[in-house]
Structure 1
Amino acid sequence: MTIQNRAKASKTASIQLAALDAETKNKALEAIALKFEARKAEIIAANREDCARSEAEKLDAPLLKRLRFEDEKLSEVIEGIRSLIKLPEPVGQTRLATQLDNGLDLYRVTCPIGVIGVIFESRPDALVQISSLCLKSGNCVLLKGGSEAASTNRILAEIISEATVAAGIPDGWIQLIETRADVNEMLKLSDDIDLLIPRGSNDFVKYIMDNSSIPVLGHADGVCHIYLHEDADAAKALPILVDAKTQYVAACNTMETLLVHESVAAQQLPEIKAALEAKNVELVGCAKTREVLQIGEATEKDWRTEYVDYKLSIKVVSSLEEAIVHINTYGSGHTDAILTEDEAAAKTFMALVDSANVFWNCSTRFSDGFRYGFGAEVGISTSKIHARGPVGLDGLMIYKYKLIGHGQTVGEFSSGKLSYTHAPLDRDCPL
């Protein structure tokens, strides 16, 4: 089946899926979880095949780390599916209710976007997160994973499709696309695909944005910062910094640059260096950092680099204001944090740093849909329209206006026979 036919099939299925009740969708999600548990050995075997091939092909270490999908990862995605089941039904929720006049009531009601095209690299768990979120929110999905995960993605998509169709979900709601040529064709299908979510390199995301008229949601880089303020609690800060850099280095919410106030640099940097080097992190720094530590020199390029590896750049700054300017200049708008005991400094930082996620006294690794309680995420958006930050169910919803009348015409209002009340209503849409 061509990509055009797949997209049209999804468009058709999207109309039916949008109208399904919460119980049917939740039963389908549970069916996926049960199938994954029953076929765990097949999934792991397919992933080991992908990993072995990718190692032989010298796949970059960060991508290889993201590719691995063993027991722990599989258990996590099953837990994510079941946590998603427990979340409230997102479709059909009344977000606004206004009486335009007596017997003429306007409602703004949530509904699915329609057909989502998602292009991602390496991570098989992303396929599960994306498809389960789309199902819960009533959206169809076209998925294009990286060739390095071909076997794993194939069996995961097969299981999801089989489980959900048997549970009453329209056939064709999930489509797996496997060839690179199909990506360029996908970008042309604005009549059938409503939203694109690319998850990959900066150049790749920009390519998608430049070559499609379909709306694009996502982020290019994850250049995340932590700023260590002059009054930060050292005992509290050190575990946060180690977690933010080393808990999972291949993630887009991993700290890539550490900013340190000059008044505490000499005292705290040696301890930070020892803790990070114990985790095999390579450090590079600015001239002031290198007056304290014997490490490599950080270049202008380092401040803009998402390493997704065991490497960190460090800069000593003279003030909170300089830290904020650095983040807004070199950051990617993803996730940035301040470590301080000064609430006023934290308030200033969180107000002025122009990022989708801004944190106080905690690790950047918390910017994640599952950790936020969204069940999972289709990705993180650094855009400023529609959805921002970890994109869960809310980010996959749009709305429609429903107007319920009793024979009214605009002419009656234009002539003055009737007049608008525009009074708020305290009730949900009845339809």
Structure 2
Amino acid sequence: MDIKQMCINASDAAIRMAALDTETKNNALARIALALLENKDKIIEANNADLKRSEEEKLASPLLKRLKFDEKKINDVVEGIKSLIGLVDPVGKTMLSTMLDDGLELYKVTCPIGIIGIIFESRPDALVQISTLCLKSGNSVLLKGGREAKETNRVLADIIEEASVAAGLPKGWINLLESREDVNEMLKMDKYIDLIIPRGSNEFVRYIMDNSKIPVMGHADGICHVYVDKEADLDMAIKVAVDSKTQYVAVCNAAETLLVNEAIAEKFLPALKAEFDKKNVEIFGDEGTQKIIESKPASEADWATEYLDYTISIKIVADVDEAIKHINTYGSGHTDSIITSNKENALKFMNLVDSGNVFWNASTRFCDGYRYGFGAEVGISTSKLHARGPVGLDGLTSYKYKLIGDGHIVDDYATKKKSFKHIKINKSIE
């Protein structure tokens, strides 16, 4: 099937998706969860084929970690689906209700975006999370995963489509793209596609933006920072820094740069290095860091590098202001954390760091749709329009204004026969 026909089918399906009731959507999600468990051997077989081929092609170790989709990860995505079922339906919520005049009522009501094109990396679990979020929010979706996961993605897409259609969803709501040519064709489908969400590097997101008229919700690099303030609890700082860097290195919310206040650097850095050594973390440090602990010299490029590996850059700074300036210069607007007992410094950091997620005394790894209680996420948006941070159900909806009258005409108000009352009412549309 060519991409245009795929978009036409998705458009037809989107109209029906928008009208689905919560029970139908939740039943479809439950069937998908069950089907994934029933077909786990088939999924793992396909994933092993992807892993074998990718190892032969010398795929980088961090990408191989993302690609692996074993029984544990299948169970994890199933738990995510169960959590999603329990969330409030984001469609049909009344955001505003106003009585413009007697018998004339205005409602602002959430609705699906329509058709969403999502391009994501070599993580098969992302396909499940993204498609089920689109289902719950009533959207049709075009999915393009990494080439490395093509066999796994085919199996997963087929399972999800079969289970959801059996539950009453329209055919064509979920579609799988497999080649770069498919993506280039998709970028031309502005007549049909309402939003594109690319997950990847700044350069990749920029390419998508430059080559399509379709609105893009961009997810930039995950260059995340932890700043250890002079008034930090050092034991806490070590625990948070180690977790931010090493809990799972091949993800966009792992810390890539550590900023350390000069007042505590001599005491803190040796203790931190001892913990990093246990995890085999390679350190690139500025001149001040190299004088205190053994580390490789950090270059200008290191401050703007997303390692996605057991590697971190460390810089000593004078104060919270220098830390903020560094983050706003080199960061990607993703997630940044301050470790301190000083509330004034913490609030300054959280107010002035220009990122979608700013934390105080917490690991950067908490930036996640599931951990935020969103069920899952389609990605992390570093945009400031529509949605920012982890994009869950609410980020996949728009809204429309619904006006209910009784033969009302504008001329009555233009000629002063009637006047507007504009009274807020606590009422949902019937």
Say yes or no: TM over 0.5: yes
Does the 8 Å CA contact 2:225/2:256 hold for their aligned counterparts? yes
Partner of 2:224: 224
Residues 133-178 of structure 1 deviation map (CA, whole Å, 9 limit, x = unaligned): 0000000000011111011000000000000000000001000111
Tell me the distance in 2 between the aligned counterparts of 1:146 and 1:367: 23
Calculate the aligned-residue CA RMSD, in Å: 0.6
Tell me the distance in 1 between the aligned counterparts of 2:122 and 2:147: 8
Tell me the distance in 1 between the aligned counterparts of 2:202 and 2:104: 49
Superposition pairs of residues 265-276 of structure 1, within 5 angstroms? 265-276=265-276
1:405 and 2:414 matched: no
Partner of 2:263: 263
Tell me the distance in 2 between the aligned counterparts of 1:297 and 1:98: 62
Superposition pairs of residues 350-369 of structure 1, within 5 angstroms? 350-369=350-369
Partner of 2:246: 246
Tell me the distance in 2 between the aligned counterparts of 1:315 and 1:297: 11
Superposition pairs of residues 49-64 of structure 1, within 5 angstroms? 49-64=49-64
Aligned AA (1:3):
I
**Structure 1 residue 290: Cα displacement:** 1.0
Partner of 1:124: 124
1:137 and 2:137 matched: yes
Tell me the distance in 2 between the aligned counterparts of 1:236 and 1:147: 40
Aligned AA (2:138):
G
Tell me the distance in 2 between the aligned counterparts of 1:243 and 1:2: 45
Residues 255-291 of structure 1 deviation map (CA, whole Å, 9 limit, x = unaligned): 0000000000000001111111210110011111111
> Alignment partner of 2:418: what SS?
coil
Tell me the distance in 1 between the aligned counterparts of 2:391 and 2:360: 21
Partner of 1:349: 349
Tell me the distance in 2 between the aligned counterparts of 1:355 and 1:104: 42
Tell me the distance in 1 between the aligned counterparts of 2:158 and 2:27: 18
Residues 171-216 of structure 1 deviation map (CA, whole Å, 9 limit, x = unaligned): 0100011121111000000011100001122221111011001000
Superposition pairs of residues 127-276 of structure 1, within 5 angstroms? 127-276=127-276
Does the 8 Å CA contact 1:25/1:135 hold for their aligned counterparts? yes
**Structure 1 residue 235: Cα displacement:** 1.4
Residues 56-103 of structure 1 deviation map (CA, whole Å, 9 limit, x = unaligned): 000111111100000111111000000000001111000000111111
> Alignment partner of 1:53: what SS?
helix
Aligned AA (1:90):
P
Tell me the distance in 1 between the aligned counterparts of 2:349 and 2:75: 37
Tell me the distance in 2 between the aligned counterparts of 1:290 and 1:179: 46
Question: Which stretches in structure 1 are left out of the alignment for 5+ residues?
Answer: none
Does the 8 Å CA contact 1:369/1:375 hold for their aligned counterparts? yes
Q: How many residues align?
A: 430
Aligned AA (2:191):
D
Tell me the distance in 1 between the aligned counterparts of 2:342 and 2:269: 20
Aligned AA (1:360):
W
> Alignment partner of 2:263: what SS?
helix
Tell me the distance in 2 between the aligned counterparts of 1:399 and 1:419: 27
Superposition pairs of residues 279-294 of structure 1, within 5 angstroms? 279-294=279-294
Aligned AA (1:190):
D
Does the 8 Å CA contact 1:104/1:406 hold for their aligned counterparts? yes
Tell me the distance in 1 between the aligned counterparts of 2:165 and 2:429: 30
Partner of 1:377: 377
Partner of 2:94: 94
Partner of 1:340: 340
Superposition pairs of residues 291-330 of structure 1, within 5 angstroms? 291-330=291-330
**Structure 1 residue 323: Cα displacement:** 0.4
Does the 8 Å CA contact 2:220/2:334 hold for their aligned counterparts? no
Does the 8 Å CA contact 1:206/1:220 hold for their aligned counterparts? no
Aligned AA (1:233):
D
Tell me the distance in 2 between the aligned counterparts of 1:312 and 1:299: 12
> Alignment partner of 1:259: what SS?
strand
Residues 272-321 of structure 1 deviation map (CA, whole Å, 9 limit, x = unaligned): 11111210110011111111112111111000111111110000000110
> Alignment partner of 1:291: what SS?
helix
Does the 8 Å CA contact 1:238/1:272 hold for their aligned counterparts? yes
**Structure 1 residue 374: Cα displacement:** 0.3
Residues 337-393 of structure 1 deviation map (CA, whole Å, 9 limit, x = unaligned): 000011111111111111000000010000000000000000000000000000000
Aligned AA (1:307):
Y
Aligned AA (1:151):
E
Moved more, 325-334 or 200-209: 200-209
> Alignment partner of 2:280: what SS?
coil
Question: Which stretches in structure 2 are left out of the alignment for 5+ residues?
Answer: none
Tell me the distance in 2 between the aligned counterparts of 1:266 and 1:87: 48
Partner of 1:73: 73
Give TM-score, length-normalised by structure 1.
0.99
Q: What stretches of structure 1 move > 4 A for 4+ residues in a row?
A: none
Tell me the distance in 2 between the aligned counterparts of 1:165 and 1:33: 14
Partner of 2:14: 14
Tell me the distance in 1 between the aligned counterparts of 2:119 and 2:294: 42
Does the 8 Å CA contact 1:109/1:400 hold for their aligned counterparts? yes
Aligned AA (1:61):
S
Aligned AA (2:181):
A
**Structure 1 residue 218: Cα displacement:** 2.4
